[in-house]
């Protein structure tokens, strides 16, 4: 097998026909052997039915069917495990990543790279979301222990050894674009204009987006823990200064009096209390991840596969 394409799908009934048509014509034009692996992430619409119909007509279409919705990153993880191609492409089902640029990826790989990831030059999304994405990627870049490229999503092409390395990582709360950087090898970016969604609405709810962002930060950075430590240290230092000041006032100045400082006291108590809860929350995020790993629960359940 030369090429594998992994496509996670969650309620994408309106996109599948066009995606299949555009993707197939690109792949056919390359005149190599290929497979299209669709991972149905618990769709509740006609997605699975449409995929099964495609498989009947075209054996290159293969389907992994999850028992429920396990999330985009899990769908990708499962898809990658089933790939047989020497080169593996990962692409969204909503045509935000145009399949027509895949040949450019393959060319770059042939030029001697192991991973070619897509970098978003422009996004066609609403202003607030764009702003949030921008901030997040820059924050992550500053915080992460490894060098995660800016504005690079999951859209990419990888050589088999890279995929095999990714498949061996047992981590459960996966932030694949981070893990992809983590594995190393020779990587390069390819910029493209991210298109608007072809049909339907984004399947990333706000909670899913926040989870993904947290996975990015907490899986690749210890900075939150360090900041807590330094925050605590700074607060200790200032309270110590306060004690010295109070003692000095009491013993060495004649006009010492108990000033009414109710508001200050309450605000300080709330501030310290808030800081402590916030810090506890950060520790909790790391702990949740440790707990997830120790439970040893599988990250997804495959109900059926078609075409393998
Ligand atoms: N997706 C998935 N499971 C989910 C959410 C999304 O498999 O729980 C798929 C979705 O069908 C699409 C890709 O992941 O192919 C990217 O999702 P989406 O386009 O909704 O995200 P966005 O582009 O808005 O970040
Ligand atoms: Mg999308």
28/69 same-domain check: yes
123/174 same-domain check: yes
The ligand 1 atom nearest the CA atom of 125: 24
Q: From CA 13, how far away is CA 46, in angstroms rounded?
A: 6
Most confident of 124-138, 195-209, 260-274, 285-299: 285-299
Q: Does the structure show a pLDDT above 80 at 123? A: no
CATH number assigned to the domain comprising residue 20: 3.90.550.10
214/246 same-domain check: no
Ligand 1 contact via 10 beta carbon (within 6 Å): yes
Output the CA 195–ligand 2 centroid distance in Å: 9
123/259 same-domain check: no
Output the CA 14–ligand 1 centroid distance in Å: 14
Q: Does the structure show a pLDDT above 70 at 204? A: yes
pTM, full prediction: 0.81
Question: Which tens digits make up the pLDDT trace of 55-83?
Answer: 999 999 999 999 999 999 999 999 999 99
Q: From CA 265, how far away is CA 261, in angstroms rounded?
A: 6
pLDDT score, position 255 = 67
Which of 197-206, 223-232, 248-257 shows the lowest mean pLDDT across its residues? 248-257
pLDDT score, position 166 = 95
pLDDT score, position 139 = 86
105/217 same-domain check: yes
The domain total for the chain is: 2
Output the CA 21–ligand 2 centroid distance in Å: 18
Ligand 1 contact via 94 beta carbon (within 6 Å): yes
Question: Which tens digits make up the pLDDT trace of 92-120?
Answer: 999 999 999 999 999 999 999 999 999 98
235/159 same-domain check: no
Output the CA 177–ligand 2 centroid distance in Å: 15
The ligand 1 atom nearest the CA atom of 209: 25
105/62 same-domain check: yes
The ligand 1 atom nearest the CA atom of 197: 19
Q: Does the structure show a pLDDT above 80 at 262? A: no
- Which range marks the domain in which residue 161 is found? 3-221+302-306
213/262 same-domain check: no
pLDDT score, position 115 = 95
Ligand 1 contact via 42 beta carbon (within 6 Å): no
The CA-to-CA distance between both ends of the chain, in Å, stands at 13
pLDDT score, position 120 = 85
Q: Does the structure show a pLDDT above 70 at 157? A: yes
189/230 same-domain check: no
For residue 307, CA distances in Å to 54, 91, 125 come to 11, 20, 36
Give, using CA atoms, the residue closest to atom 19 of ligand 1: 202
178/44 same-domain check: yes
């Amino acid at each position: 097998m030369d090429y594998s394409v992994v496509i996670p799908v969650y309620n994408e009934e309106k996109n599948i026909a066009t995606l299949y048509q555009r993707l197939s014509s690109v792949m056919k034009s390359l005149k190599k052997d290929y497979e299209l692996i669709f991972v149905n992430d618990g769709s509740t619409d006609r997605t699975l039915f449409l995929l099964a119909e495609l498989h009947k007509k075209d054996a290159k279409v293969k389907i992994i069917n999850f028992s429920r919705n396990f999330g985009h990153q899990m769908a990708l993880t499962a898809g990658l495990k089933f790939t047989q191609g020497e080169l593996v492409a990962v692409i969204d089902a909503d045509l935000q990543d145009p399949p027509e640029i895949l040949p450019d990826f393959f060319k770059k790989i042939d030029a001697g790279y192991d991973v070619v990831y897509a970098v978003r030059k422009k996004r066609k999304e609403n202003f607030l979301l764009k702003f949030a994405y921008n901030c997040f990627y820059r924050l992550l870049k500053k915080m992460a222990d490894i060098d995660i490229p800016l504005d690079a999503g999951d859209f990419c092409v990888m050589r088999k050894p890279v995929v095999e390395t990714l498949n061996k990582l047992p981590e459960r709360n996966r932030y694949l674009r981070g893990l992809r950087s983590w594995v190393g090898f020779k990587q390069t970016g390819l910029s493209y204009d991210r298109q608007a969604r072809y049909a339907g609405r984004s399947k990333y709810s706000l909670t899913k987006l926040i989870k993904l962002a947290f996975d990015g930060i907490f899986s690749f950075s210890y900075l939150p823990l360090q900041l807590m430590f330094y925050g605590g240290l700074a607060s200790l230092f200032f309270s110590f200064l306060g004690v010295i000041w109070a003692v000095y006032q009491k013993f060495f100045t004649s006009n010492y009096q108990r000033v009414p400082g109710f508001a200050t006291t309450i605000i300080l108590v709330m501030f310290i209390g808030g800081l402590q809860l916030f810090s506890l929350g950060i520790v909790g995020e790391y702990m949740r991840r440790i707990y997830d790993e120790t439970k040893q629960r599988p990250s997804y359940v495959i109900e059926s596969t078609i075409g393998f």
